[in-house]
Amino acid sequence: MHIKELLSYSAEQLREVTDIPQKEAMILLAHVLGCETSWILTHSHNEIKLDEHFFELLKRRVSHEPLEYILGKASFYGKEFNVDSRVLIPRPETEILVDKAVELARELPQNAHIVEIGCGSGIISIMLSLLLPDAKLTAVDISMDALNVSKQNAQKHGVDKNITFIESSYLDNVDGNIDMIVSNPPYIANAEPLGIGLSYEPSLALYGGSRGDEMLCHIVDLFQERKAKALACEMGYDQREPMRLYAQSKGLEIEFYKDLASLDRGFWIKEKK
Ligand code: GLN
């Protein structure tokens, strides 16, 4: 079979799964061949003989498994991270949370202690460690499986010595002073049906309780109890009003940010001076 024919056959199979079937077919083939997609484009008339592996991966994608899990990697903030079904796939909007956290950290001492609750694949703590090299980072997760992925990613980006990874529910196992808390916790309401792609992701990382904002509210409580100076969290597009009311009931001033689609996507709170 020619590469060209293989690509059009594969793209046809992927038509119902993705808006970019041609591109995904090419990415899968490049992954199996261990080459760049640009090589495939320039050699589309080459004859190719593939083993079963390519067709197995294609089949997984046809069943809606996210491409990132099939490839074992995802990009975030212009960097590559290892991902698999033990962790949530990084979402582009979470880059805004990283930027917000960096902005807040600039108002803290350079060696501030920043704690991330629910680090998953580690993308937030790792980016914060790269962008704020003097900060002291602690990344916690209740899932040891997720911590293993985040440790691997920290090593990949050379910041494993700068981040302390702790298996912990919230801040239960984190001692000492905390300057800033950052989190992209599960915030989807338990009863909400997940789209077919999301069903491959760990539900532990997605569902936040019967309302969805329970964990966010608990993190606001912890921010207050631990007397941290700043808090930044991602949230659902419809959680602005409940979070505003919750912060108000606690006497806190909350501010919100939007994602690239102009949907409410997160908030931050600073200590009262
Ligand atoms: N933003 C993710 C989604 O919509 C959810 C992430 C989360 O619950 N923290 O799939």
The answer to whether 187 and 211 have CB atoms below 8 angstroms apart is: no
Read out DSSP for 107-175?
TS-TT-EEEEES-TTSHHHHHHHHH-TTSEEEEEES-HHHHHHHHHHHHHTT-TTTEEEEE-STTTT--
Q: What does pTM read for this prediction?
A: 0.95
* pLDDT value of position 176: 96
**pLDDT (0 to 100) of residue 121:** 98
Q: Which residues pair with 138 in a beta bridge?
A: 115, 164
Span 1-19, average pLDDT: 96
The DSSP bridge pattern shows strands 163-167 and 254-258 to be: unpaired
For the CA of 91, the closest atom of ligand 1 is 1
Helical H segments across 226-272, by residue range? 240-249
Answer yes or no: is the C-beta of 48 below 6 A from any ligand 1 atom: no
* Position 130 pLDDT exceeds 80: yes
Asked if residue 206 has its Cβ within 6 Å of ligand 1, the reply is yes
Mean pLDDT, residues 98-126 taken together: 98
* Ligand 1 site, residue 212, Cβ cutoff 6 A: no
Domain range list for the chain: 3-63, 87-270
90 Cα: distance to centroid of ligand 1 (angstroms): 9
Q: What is the mean pLDDT of residues 97-103?
A: 98
Mean pLDDT of the region 218-226 = 98
Residues of the chain with pLDDT > 90, as a percent, come to 95
Class for domain 87-270, per CATH?
A: alpha beta
CA of 171 to the centre of ligand 1 (A): 21
For residue 1, the model assigns a pLDDT of 87
With the most atoms of ligand 1 within 8 angstroms of its CB, the residue from 184, 207, 216, 265 to mutate is 184
- Confidence band (pLDDT; 50, 70, 90) for 273? confident
